Amino acid sequence: MLSKNSFFNGTIFKNTLLTYWPVWGLASFIGCLFPIGLLFALMGGDIVVSNLSCYTYCFAFAFDALPVVSTIYALIVSIIVWSYLNQTRHVGFIHSLPVKRTALFITNFFSGIAMFMIPYLLMAVIFVLVMGINGHLMIVPVMITLALCLCESVIFFSIATFFAMISGSGKMAGFLYSFLMLFPLAANSLASAILDRFLFGFGRDYDTNLSYISPVVHIMDRVSAGMDGHISPAYEHIIYYGMDVLLWTFVASVVVLILSFILYQKRPSESAANVFCFRIINPIFHYFIMMLSALIFGTFIYNLLFDSLWNTEYFKIIPIIGCMFVAGLIGYFVAKMITQKSFRVFKRAYIPVLVTAVFAALFCLTFSMDLTGVQGRVPDRAKIEYVDMRLNSDNLIVSESENPELVDEIRDLHQYVVDHADEYKKKSTVGYDEKKSVVDFSVTYTLRSGKTLSRSYEL
């Protein structure tokens, strides 16, 4: 019998894998279809295998499919592995066992990682056999791919575990995890829709450069590999890009995992029926939903009520503040009803009313008056790698290193437009139907830091 001081419980580990074998079994079945399909294609003569194709298949999976697969699978595995935390009777029974919470956390975490790695290992074995049968027994790319699989499994499962620790509901944990993963895409869409109505030059493809917040988006943007032009690739010919990004993301996920461990130690068992397990999270969630509701539904209400009335390209400041205030306040009380599971949430309502009013006013005034200076931002030439300029239907891409004079001319043109922004904005307020656009001018700077700055104007 295992000691109570053991950091790992083999019995719980085996029971977890046996209980949830349909999950990793189905994942293994789906994953193994790809190398088996490759075998049939080779047998039929549809494709010809080579050393290059071995690396190509591994890289296509590791850098294109793996981040998305790991993101989705981590959510599924975290929900089932930590499901007992959301059931009052079950969590009481588990925590009454002669096993310390440290051992429970470590065992369950490695159970989840095992559910990741079993399908990956089976896929790797079948792939090696398929390639070996065709005379290309290449272990190195498979081992590299497996290492990336393990790394990303830890990254995404650690993040999903964190949300499972703070939530008493699998649905809420799934919502928060999904929101984090999709945050850069949502932020770009929201910023484009809102800032375009406040500021001159913010088109519908605005990039907030917040990809680093979402691990899946950041990894897919920055992490890749190439062959450096070699036709007969070998291990020493591989060039990996963004490995520092992957390393720091892994380190950050380990920090998140440690924080999850601490939260698990502090998590009260009786909080299983709550939306959040720690009371301090409730007001954070309330005001987060308030801000989100103010921005999304406030804009929707404005468009519904006032767009057809004034037919202008930019927001009217007083009405948009009012719309955001109403939408934000509704969002706050809905969020409070969710966390308290009650409709009696209007006690001391003056506090959220005041906070929502201040947020709506500050947000709208800040961007309508461009207090952040983003409308007039033109990057320094030393920070520019290349520029993509579009003038009506004509397109021009210029590298700063090849033609710095032309880059300067484009910057000067952009600076002129920015300096006369108020004049152009006044011309835009005549209404969509009456406005006559002379020139469509857009410019996108790719900076040496890897970030981009895009502006689009109708002049």
pLDDT score for 27:
93
For residue range 298-309, list pLDDT tens digits in order: 989 988 888 766
pLDDT score for 1:
41
pLDDT score for 310:
62
pLDDT score for 312:
66
For residue range 300-337, list pLDDT tens digits in order: 998 888 876 665 667 888 999 999 999 999 999 999 99
Global model pTM greater than 0.85: no
> What is the residue-averaged pLDDT of the chain?
83
For residue range 63-72, list pLDDT tens digits in order: 888 899 999 9
Q: Is the pLDDT of residue 439 over 60?
A: yes
User: Mean pLDDT throughout 407-426?
Assistant: 81
pLDDT score for 26:
95
pLDDT score for 187:
80
Q: Is the pLDDT of residue 2 over 60?
A: no
3-state DSSP of the chain = CCCCCCCCCHHHHHHHHHHCHHHHHHHHHHHHHHHHHHHHHHHCCCCCCCHHHHHHHHHHHHHHHHHHHHHHHHHHHHHHHCHHHHCHHHHHHHHCCCCCHHHHHHHHHHHHHHHHHHHHHHHHHHHHHHHHHCCCCCCHHHHHHHHHHHHHHHHHHHHHHHHHHHECCHHHHHHHHHHHHHHHHHHHHHHHHHHCCCCCCCCCCCCCCCHHHCHHHHHHHHCEEECCCCCCCCHHHCEEECHHHHHHHHHHHHHHHHHHHHHHHHCCHHHHHCCECCCCHHHHHHHHHHHHHHHHHHHHHHHHHHHHHHCCCCCCHHHHHHHHHHHHHHHHHHHHHHHHCCCCCCCCCHHHHHHHHHHHHHHHHHHHCCCCCCCCCCCCHHHEEEEEEEECCEEEEEECCCCHHHHHHHHHHHHHHHHCHHHHHHHHCCCCCCCCCCCEEEEEEEECCCCEEEEEEEC
Q: Which of 9-18, 369-378, 450-459 shows the highest mean pLDDT?
A: 9-18
* Confidence band for 47, pLDDT divided at 50, 70 and 90: low
Q: Is the pLDDT of residue 357 over 60?
A: yes
Q: Which of 7-21, 300-314, 433-447 shows the highest mean pLDDT?
A: 7-21
